[in-house]
Amino acid sequence: MKKVRFAVIGMGHIGKRHAEMIRRNEQAELVAVCDIISPKELGISALSEIFYNSLSELLANEKDIDVVNICVPNGLHAELALKALDSGKHVVIEKPMALSRLDAEKILAKSKERGCDVFCVMQNRYSPPSVWLKEIVESGILGKLYSVQLNCLWNRDERYYKSGNWHGSTEMDGGTLFTQFSHFVDIMYWLFGDITNIKGSFYDFNHQSLTDFEDSGNVLFDFVKGGSGSLNYSTAVWDKNLESSMTIIAENGSIKVAGQYMNEVKYCHIKDYTMPTLAPSNPPNDYGPYKGSAQNHHYVIQNVIDKLNGNASITTNAMDGLKVVDIIERIYKERDAR
């Protein structure tokens, strides 16, 4: 079986993780990496792969690459994805897929035009509690859905929003829901579908000098398929992450999944059901002073390889990525109307 050949665009924290997961996979080959910053400044001077300073230069020289992994600031995702797709490459796009539904639709259209796959990184789908929740919801044993409460309460302070960094800017970051919590919005959409009747209150408690946008919000909505929902989120938590949690109240039972990144089943009480023992979740991405979501990127890389070899479907496809962007954009429309 031929190895799948990858290039990684953007060699910050997440780009380095993508590169390492590709190197560790025996079915993959990392051919080249790319960043506008020099290898020395990035701390990758001992790099064994070819280094390029632009995607255009990389695409011109590396004709045999199969997949381009896009790990750049959010505001550049759509532009670089379109360029890679136009060159006939499959793309892996770090969350979020884009910062507007319009741009996400352009990516979807280009992918169909060129016959190339789009893989959206929503790594929380791979965690054992998420996989179990999906099975529970699809089985129908919960009965009618009553309400879902999603709480995302993290710390992102001056250690994260550093002066001169792209994090915190409307143009490149997009907002708290795009950068910090889009993978939790994805889990909610994956489990329960689209939302409507959105209402919300938004606040900027302690990020006035750090970001262009809100640090907290309380959002109420209904699910199109039935049931109500709420999303309470904040990056104003002092010093360290508090939790990410989802509480489900339904006709035949209740579930709460919580922990710093929704990695523990805290409560499960369902009619005529005994919960199985789940595999342990992977630890969070560790960025020194702050923590991220679970280290599941190796599953993403394996899914790309399996799909391109005809052995699997895409775990998070372009339509799913588009819907997450669409939901966040509609929540922010409510914010900006106030």
Q: Looking at the domain assignment, is residue 315 inside a domain?
A: no
* Residues 157 and 80 occupy one common structural domain: no
* Residues 84 and 63 occupy one common structural domain: yes
Residue 338 confidence (pLDDT): 77
Q: Is the pLDDT of residue 119 over 80?
A: yes
* Residues 162 and 188 occupy one common structural domain: yes
Model confidence at 238, in pLDDT bands (50, 70, 90)? very high
Q: Is the pLDDT of residue 307 over 60?
A: yes
208, two tokens: 């006035």
Model pLDDT for residues 37-96, shown as the tens digit of each residue: 999 999 998 899 999 999 999 999 999 999 999 999 999 999 999 999 999 999 999 999
Model pLDDT for residues 247-291, shown as the tens digit of each residue: 999 999 999 999 877 889 999 999 999 999 998 887 655 555 545
177-206 average pLDDT score: 97
* Residues 69 and 214 occupy one common structural domain: no
Q: What is the greatest pairwise CA distance in the chain? A: 60
**Mean pLDDT score of the chain, rounded to an integer?**
94
Beta bridge partners of 185: none
| 160 vs 2, residue with greater confidence | 160
Residue 67 confidence (pLDDT): 98
**Strand intervals (E) in 195-252:** 195-203, 216-223, 228-234, 243-250
Model pLDDT for residues 83-100, shown as the tens digit of each residue: 999 999 999 999 999 999
Q: Looking at the domain assignment, is residue 269 inside a domain?
A: yes
Last residue of a domain, one of 81, 105, 120: 120
Residue 296 confidence (pLDDT): 82
Q: Looking at the domain assignment, is residue 150 inside a domain?
A: yes
Cβ atoms within 10 Å of 313's Cβ, excluding its own: 8
CATH number at residue 111: 3.40.50.720
Q: Looking at the domain assignment, is residue 166 inside a domain?
A: yes
CATH number at residue 144: 3.30.360.10
Model pLDDT for residues 287-305, shown as the tens digit of each residue: 555 455 556 889 999 999 9
Residue 6 in contact with residue 66, Cβ under 8 Å?
yes
* Residues 94 and 171 occupy one common structural domain: no
Residue 193 confidence (pLDDT): 98
**Cα–Cα distance measured from residue 255 to residue 311, given in angstroms and rounded to the nearest whole number:** 33
* Residues 24 and 149 occupy one common structural domain: no
- What angle, 0 to 180 degrees and rounded to 10, lies between the N-to-C axes of helices 101-114 and 318-336? 160
**92, 138, 99, 312 alpha-carbon torsion, rounded to 10°:** 10
* Residues 75 and 184 occupy one common structural domain: no
**Cα–Cα distance measured from residue 278 to residue 260, given in angstroms and rounded to the nearest whole number:** 17
Q: Looking at the domain assignment, is residue 333 inside a domain?
A: no
CA 94: distance to chain centroid?
6
The domain in which residue 286 lies consists of 124-292
Q: Looking at the domain assignment, is residue 220 inside a domain?
A: yes
Last residue of a domain, one of 53, 88, 120: 120
* Residues 131 and 21 occupy one common structural domain: no
* Residues 32 and 92 occupy one common structural domain: yes
**290, 258, 21, 300 alpha-carbon torsion, rounded to 10°:** -130
Residue 194 confidence (pLDDT): 98
CA atoms within 13 A on the CB side of 279: 9
Q: Looking at the domain assignment, is residue 304 inside a domain?
A: no
Backbone angles phi, psi at 199, to 5 degrees: -135, 150
Residue 290 confidence (pLDDT): 43
Structural domain count of the chain: 2
Residue 78 confidence (pLDDT): 98
Residue 97 in contact with residue 74, Cβ under 8 Å?
no
* Residues 154 and 184 occupy one common structural domain: yes
174-195 average pLDDT score: 97
Last residue of a domain, one of 56, 91, 120: 120
Model confidence at 2, in pLDDT bands (50, 70, 90)? confident
178-184 average pLDDT score: 96
Q: Looking at the domain assignment, is residue 325 inside a domain?
A: no
**With pLDDT > 70 as the criterion, what percentage of the chain qualifies?**
96
* Residues 130 and 69 occupy one common structural domain: no
Residue 297 confidence (pLDDT): 86
**Cα–Cα distance measured from residue 104 to residue 98, given in angstroms and rounded to the nearest whole number:** 6
* Residues 176 and 133 occupy one common structural domain: yes
Best CA proximity match to 333, nearest among 250, 242, 219: 219
